[in-house]
Amino acid sequence: MLSRPAQQADSRRPRPDNRPRPRPLDLTALVGKLTERDRWILRMLHEHRVLTTNQLAALAFPTPAIALRRLTLLHRYGVVDRFRPLRTRGSAPMHWVLAPAGAGVLAAEAGITVRELGYNHQRALAVSHSLHLAHTLGVADWFTALIAYPAHDQRGEPSQVRAWWSQTRCERLWGDLAHPDAFGRYTYAETTLDFFLEYDLDTTRGLSKVAAKLNGFAELARTTGVITPVLFWVPTLARETRTRAALRRTWERLPDPEAVPVATAAAELVSPSTEASPAEQVWLPLGTDTERKRLHHLADLWPGRTPPAEEIDPEPTALGGIITLAPPPPQPPVSESW
């Protein structure tokens, strides 16, 4: 999935699910049904709008078959909804979104109303028809691979993703200045790298518009005084070459280019395996002609970047507090019934 991202044109309208819909359980009945991992899934669906069976399996389950059984049970409980897009080639996995009963669980945990949670059922289901569905899932694929297939340091300790904030959360925090597709925090050994992700599907969007986003990041850095690298992920080397040329023209005209560290990578450079990861040696910094770097090595190239704070507190609100942004999720008890 990581090296060959799906294109939106390959999908058609969602396939209708004509099977009888389950009657959602009330909140009191759900108390004894939902595990900690189930609640983590609900938080992730609220944060990222939609995740597939394959993505959730890689993040939280031993196998896709076990993931599908558990997710199907959560659908029977009424806490998640599902759809499957039609494709002209092959078959799409099941796509999962938060259902009203699931939003009720999250709101109850936070001691707020569903409205205060910011949940709307029709808006949650609307992602199935969104022209940006492939892009949303592509970002999720990127982070899923980074989380599920960690790099290991010399001591054998795995890398970790400490934060994965959605485009919606980023817009809420910085939308008047910059519009990243996601924000992440990645740790490897003693290195911690905060970054903004720009995920490109090589669609009809002009490269000048892609490059123009650097102006927003420059203004964000100037306003906040925080220097955060911007990572551009594109599907092919050809697209990367064109993107770098456009980015360089804009970057060199910024008032302070060093305040906007940039690196690019092409998906086709990652290893041709099911465990391909964006942490591999595929990153090429802008403004230098050095060899490609692994993700954690980028931190050494930008000494001017702002050191990550020890704690991440995106919003001083209940909504920010209930979203789990630090996978991996809690492991299920040994006695849990799948």
Q: What's the pLDDT tens digit per position in 2-22?
A: 766 665 444 445 555 555 566
Contact 70, 338 (CB under 8 A): yes
pLDDT score of 220 more than 70 = yes
Q: Which of 175, 42, 32, 48 is nearest to 102 (CA)?
A: 42
Cα(217)–Cα(325) distance, integer angstroms: 23
Of residues 167 and 308, more confidently modeled: 167
pTM value is: 0.87
Of residues 154 and 223, more confidently modeled: 223
Cα(40)–Cα(75) distance, integer angstroms: 15
Average pLDDT, the chain: 85
Domain limits, the chain = 8-130, 149-301
Q: How confident is the model at residue 179 (pLDDT cuts 50, 70, 90)?
A: very high
pLDDT score of 288 more than 90 = no
Cα(164)–Cα(185) distance, integer angstroms: 7
Q: What share of the chain is helix, strand, coil (3-state, %, to 5)?
A: 40, 15, 40
| CATH top class, domain 8-130 | mainly alpha
